[in-house]
Structure 1
């Protein structure tokens, strides 16, 4: 089960994700997380404690980034575990969301 916390620093929000990013996280991401992020100008998604992302989780990530960028909110993704990044890279997620998104 995915959980999140948001640390606020001026107009920047750091979202600490903990758990698997999968189908079970869909409702929480869409209903709880994304609305909270719309108040910031910059969002950092910290993946340090995300050990697993499945195909539905990839879709969720793409949805988060797309919705935030549509609102002119800068998005970065940090601290992705190597095995998770390998899946991102295999599915060309960095190319889709922009290489600069991953820090």
Structure 2
């Protein structure tokens, strides 16, 4: 089962994900997440409790981050587990999204 929570502090939000980010989850997140985040200046996506991300999850992540950045919102990915980090780097997400999207200790 996948869940997420949003903790808003002034102009910053921390979105914490828990569970596998797969095709079932992407439809839910596409509908629920973006509009609630548009009021922020900075968003931290905490992957600390995510152990699996499939191709649909990667696609959602790319489109979500690009959408938020087009709106002038800074996005940071944090707390990647080693297996998820390996997939992100094999798929060259730092090159696609920019190294500044990943927390310093993630790169």
- Relative to the length of structure 1, the TM-score reads 0.96
Distance 1:67 1:21 in 2: 19
For structure 1, list consecutive stretches of 5 or more residues without a partner in the other structure.
none
Summarize deviations over 1:32-69 as a string: whole Å, max 9, x none: 11111111110000000001001111101101101100
Q: Distance in 1 between matches of 2:94 and 2:21?
A: 17
Correspondence 1:23-62 to 2 at 5 A:
23-62=23-62
For 2:39 and 2:86, locate their aligned partners in 1 and report how far apart those are by CA, in whole Å. 31
The number of residue pairs the alignment matches comes to: 103
SS in structure 1 at match of 2:51: coil
Distance, in Å, in 2 between the alignment partners of 1:54 and 1:9 is 30
Instruction: Name which of structure 1's ranges 42-51 and 20-29 shifts more when overlaid on structure 2.
Output: 20-29
CA–CA distance in 2 between the matches of 1:20 and 1:97? 21
Give the whole-Å Cα distance in 2 for the aligned partners of 1:27 and 1:68: 17
TM-score (norm. length: structure 2)? 0.93
| Cα RMSD after superposing both structures | 0.8
